[in-house]
Amino acid sequence: MKSATNSEVHDVIVVGCGPAGLGVSIVLRHAGIENFVVLDRDIVGASFAAWPAETRFITPSFPSNSIGMLDLNSIAIGVSPAYALEVEHPTGAEYAAHLQGVAQHFEIPVREHVDVKQIRKIEDEFRIETGEETLRAKHVIWAAGEFQYPRLNAFPGSEFCRHTATVPSYEGLEGDDFIVIGGYESGVDAAYHLSYRDKRVRLFDRGCPWKEESSDPSVALSTYSQERMREDWFEEHVELVPNTWVASVSKVDSGYEVKTKDGRTFQTPTQPLLAGGFEGSHKIVSNLFEHRDDGLPLLSEKDESTITSGMYLCGPTVRHDNLVFCFIYKYRQRFAVVAKAIATSLGLPAEDLESYRQWGMYLDDLSCCGEECETC
Ligand SMILES: Cc1cc2nc3c(=O)[nH]c(=O)nc-3n(C[C@H](O)[C@H](O)[C@H](O)COP(=O)(O)OP(=O)(O)OC[C@H]3O[C@@H](n4cnc5c(N)ncnc54)[C@H](O)[C@@H]3O)c2cc1C
């Protein structure tokens, strides 16, 4: 389909208005950049609005801004979800509403219901294809996230499973005997809510994430989930099946059959749940990045593509060597780095951004990261 090309050339187009796209847009404003727009295929905070109703943040919110420590789930200086929502572990719906309020407060120019299908770079300009029209920009920040792009093909028969990202509510799931494949945060969350409703759950993982000794929550289970696993109903109804690779799932007369690589077979009358992570939206723009061995985009020290200048990545797929920026409190540290790089390329001084350092929102020296906690 041929779409009309818009004559306006934006300084920046941000794709995605979740916490990453919105957060970096607020910093663009502080950097003095005015000619930008944020596109979202749905609405502000759509991924959070689509979480299962019972799912809550694992990272706690606390109104700690007054002592110079930014609320862990805040995306902007001066903002605290704890203060705004009066909850410590918001639901997805609550956080989506919070993001919508933040977008309005900062008067961020968002265009909702604009689905970006493809991006090309022609000479010095990006062409952003939405199906309806072609938008033009000097810089693009890709912030379309992971949640809407679940991993659905991990093993033969994955299609018989239901990904947890498509569950509107655990209360509404029929059945009493569940197999959950994937034992990290989403899998534990599913097991917690199902066992709370007296359902039997077998929780499979190829490793043993429940015993991981790292203090980095990108690797080890959060304390919130560890606490949940100690609840009576969890211990009573959930059987942990560690170090077990699922080889296939098939449909049989009595329901579903799960085969493992070590030759065991498990049966369940209920559709298995898949909590196996996400492919990520970066596949849409894979033509604009080199890739690491793990398939994620390779980035410069400014989170810019190493092969397409002006193309940036923000959000949970940002990686530098073995540093993983998968939580809000991690990837927000890179917003100012990206905004500063774009401001510089536009000839703006962006001096105000220095104040981001004192809030832990301007991490441009990666050599200091990755320290493990002592075991005291
Ligand atoms: C169950 C669960 C619990 C979690 N708990 C926590 C937690 O406690 N703390 C924490 O820090 N993180 C948590 N995370 C991770 C958190 O959800 C991510 O860090 C966050 O969603 C990433 O934000 P984002 O803005 O990159 O992506 P998203 O929130 O997914 O936002 C991307 C936006 O882009 C839009 N979009 C997608 N594709 C396109 C396209 N092609 N064109 C236009 N728009 C597009 C979407 O509509 C969406 O609004 C959790 C994740 C899950 C799944």
350: in domain: yes
CATH number at residue 58: 3.50.50.60
With the most atoms of ligand 1 within 8 angstroms of its CB, the residue from 26, 38, 44, 47 to mutate is 47
* Residue 219 and residue 351 share a domain: no
Q: What does the DSSP assignment read for 108-145?
A: --EEES----EEEEETTEEEEE-SSEEEEEEEEEE---
Q: What is the mean pLDDT of the chain?
A: 95
Residue 307 · residue 285 · CB < 8 Å: no
* Residue 140 and residue 10 share a domain: yes
Inform me whether the pLDDT recorded for 12 exceeds 80. Answer: yes
pLDDT tens-digit profile of 88-140?
999 999 999 999 999 999 999 999 999 999 999 999 999 999 989 999 999 99
How many domains does the chain contain in total? 2
User: For the chain, what percent of residues have pLDDT higher than 90?
Assistant: 91
In which domain, by residue range, is 180 found?
A: 158-274
* Residue 357 and residue 335 share a domain: yes
CA distances from 100 to 45, 104, 228, 266, 316 (A): 7, 6, 30, 44, 20
pLDDT band of 374, cuts 50, 70, 90: low
Ligand 1: nearest atom to the Cα of 16: 34
pLDDT tens-digit profile of 22-58?
999 999 999 999 999 999 999 999 999 999 999 999 9
* Residue 202 and residue 260 share a domain: yes
User: Residue 366 has what pLDDT?
Assistant: 87
User: Residue 217 has what pLDDT?
Assistant: 72
* Residue 26 and residue 109 share a domain: yes
153: in domain: no
* Residue 14 and residue 119 share a domain: yes
* Residue 23 and residue 141 share a domain: yes
376: in domain: no
According to DSSP, the residues that pair with 135 across neighbouring strands are: 128
208: in domain: yes
* Residue 124 and residue 38 share a domain: yes
326: in domain: yes
Inform me whether the pLDDT recorded for 371 exceeds 70. Answer: no
- Residues near ligand 1 (Cβ within 6 A): 15-21, 39-42, 46-47, 51, 55, 57-59, 115-116, 143-145, 147-148, 185-186, 189, 281, 284, 315-316, 327-328
Q: Which two three-digit tokens encode residue 374? A: 């002592």
106: in domain: yes
pLDDT band of 4, cuts 50, 70, 90: confident
pLDDT band of 5, cuts 50, 70, 90: confident
With the most atoms of ligand 1 within 8 angstroms of its CB, the residue from 328, 331, 334 to mutate is 328
With the most atoms of ligand 1 within 8 angstroms of its CB, the residue from 40, 285, 330 to mutate is 40
CA of 166 from ligand 1 middle (Å) equals 14
CA of 149 from ligand 1 middle (Å) equals 10
Ligand 1: nearest atom to the Cα of 317: 26
375: in domain: no
- The C-alpha atoms of residue 213 and residue 20 are separated, in whole angstroms, by 29
* Residue 134 and residue 167 share a domain: no
Q: What is the 3-state secondary structure (H, E, C) of 329-351?
A: HHHHHHHHHHHHHHHHHCCCCCH
